[in-house]
Amino acid sequence: MSHSPVHRAGDSPIQVDLVEGETYTWCACGRSNSQPFCDGSHQGTGIDPVVFVAEKSGSVWLCMCKQTGTPPLCDGSHNKKKVE
């Protein structure tokens, strides 16, 4: 049984307002205290945040369970059964 270094930061996605052209850093490790964004807590985990530029202004659902296949966006993975 492998132990995932990724933590669930939440059980449902979080809606955030993005501004077109702005750069965001999505927390991939689940340890940040500034969810859904990275605060540097991933240090030493071997996990890097996902840096992205908003293509348009508006709200999006960012993944909080950190299991999404389409980071940083929610793909519904939080509803899937947790396999450990």
Q: What does the binding site for ligand FES look like in residue numbers (CB under 6 A)?
A: 27-29, 31-32, 38-42, 47, 49
Nearer to ligand FES among residue 43 and residue 59 (C-beta): 43
Strands (DSSP E) contained in 1-84 are 14-18, 23-26, 50-53, 58-62
CA distance 65 to 30: 7
Nearer to ligand FES among residue 31 and residue 78 (C-beta): 31
Nearer to ligand FES among residue 41 and residue 77 (C-beta): 41
Phi, psi of 17 (to 5 degrees): -95, 120
- Taking the complex as a whole, the smallest distance from the CB of residue 59 to ligand FES amounts, in Å, to 22
